[in-house]
């Protein structure tokens, strides 16, 4: 059975990844088995040091190799902040490894020259910017990036004040929309935001799982029916 391993960095990944995305995806892909690995120290240590430390990278590589040893055909990390660490593990694994935000970034750089990033975790914004710049280079596109980080929104989310969290994010999106062609919400914790600021909005979630399906098909001969356009869009 094709197997997808997911590496999470928050202990509430059920609410941020499994319930809104993985459950429905698995219903449409009953041939796929899933392995979940969670270590919330990865994000907390990265937040304390402004990004993934060498120790965080080492643990991420260990989890990637452990997932491969457990039989994973494809490995997806659900945390934007882990981008650099995931890249290191990607180079060492013998199976496809990617961050859930990578396919979203490839879409976003085609939306226009001026891109805005809204984040609520300080380590997420530079990770998303790095990813967008890489995607732009690959697409031979020129982009300008502006970022807005609202840490109060993330604290509101942790406190369970969801309306306050969404309101603060909406305000940042509205401010950025006056100056950019598209807004990128790179964090999985922002994937359920529903707001139209007047600029195109790109979010993680469905595109990541569509990419997982594509890679699983690639690894297993491509026998699965292609996903519909609706499944592959980031909503």
Considering the chain, tell me which residue range(s) the CATH 3.40.50.1860 domain(s) occupy.
Answer: 3-100+206-232, 103-203
pLDDT at residue 220, rounded to an integer: 75
Q: What is the DSSP string of 58-95?
A: HHHHHHHHHHHHTT-SEEEE--GGGHHHHHHHHHH-SS
Which residues pair with residue 6 across a beta bridge? Answer: 36, 76
- Is the pLDDT at 223 greater than 60? The verdict is no
Mean pLDDT for the stretch of residues 34-63 = 97
> Mean pLDDT over residues 7-27, rounded?
96
Q: pLDDT tens across 173-206, in order?
A: 999 999 999 999 999 999 999 999 999 999 999 9
| Segment 63-78, tens digit of pLDDT | 999 999 999 999 999 9
Number of H helices, E strands in the chain: 11, 8
CATH of domain 103-203: 3.40.50.1860
**What residues contact 112, with CB distance under 8 A and at least 6 apart?**
180, 181, 182, 200
pTM of the model: 0.88
pLDDT in tens, 88-129: 999 999 999 999 999 999 999 999 899 999 999 999 999 999
Question: Where residue 219 falls among pLDDT bands split at 50, 70, 90?
Answer: confident
Exposure letters 68-92 (e unless 16+ CB within 10 A, then b) = beeebbbbbbbbbbbbbbbbbbbee
Within 10 A of 195 (CB to CB), how many other CB atoms are there? 15
Torsions phi, psi for 64 (to 5 deg): -65, -45
Q: What does CATH list as the number for 3-100+206-232?
A: 3.40.50.1860
Q: Is the pLDDT of residue 226 over 70?
A: no
Per-residue pLDDT, 84 = 94
The two most distant CA atoms of the chain are separated, in Å, by 48
């Amino acid at each position: 059975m094709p197997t997808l391993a997911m590496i999470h960095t928050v202990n509430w990944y059920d609410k941020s990844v499994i319930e809104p995305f993985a459950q429905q995806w698995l219903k449409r892909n009953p041939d796929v088995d899933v392995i979940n690995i969670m270590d919330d120290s990865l994000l907390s240590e990265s937040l304390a040091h402004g990004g993934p430390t060498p120790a965080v990278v080492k643990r991420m590589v260990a989890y990637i190799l452990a997932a491969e040893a457990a039989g994973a055909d494809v490995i997806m990390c659900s945390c934007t902040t882990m981008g650099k660490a995931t890249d290191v593990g990607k180079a060492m694994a013998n199976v496809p490894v990617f961050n859930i935000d990578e396919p979203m970034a490839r879409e976003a750089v085609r939306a226009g020259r001026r891109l805005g990033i809204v984040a609520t975790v300080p380590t997420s914004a530079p990770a998303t910017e790095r990813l967008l710049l890489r995607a732009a280079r690959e697409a031979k596109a020129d982009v300008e990036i502006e970022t807005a980080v609202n840490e109060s929104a993330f604290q509101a989310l942790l406190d369970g004040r969801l309306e306050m969290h969404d309101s603060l994010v909406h305000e940042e999106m509205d401010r950025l929309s006056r100056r950019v062609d598209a807004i990128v919400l790179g964090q999985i914790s922002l994937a359920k935001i529903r707001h139209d600021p007047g600029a195109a909005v790109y979010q993680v979630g469905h595109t990541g799982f569509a990419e997982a399906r594509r890679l699983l098909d690639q690894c297993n001969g491509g026998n699965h029916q292609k996903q519909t356009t609706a499944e592959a869009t980031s909503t």
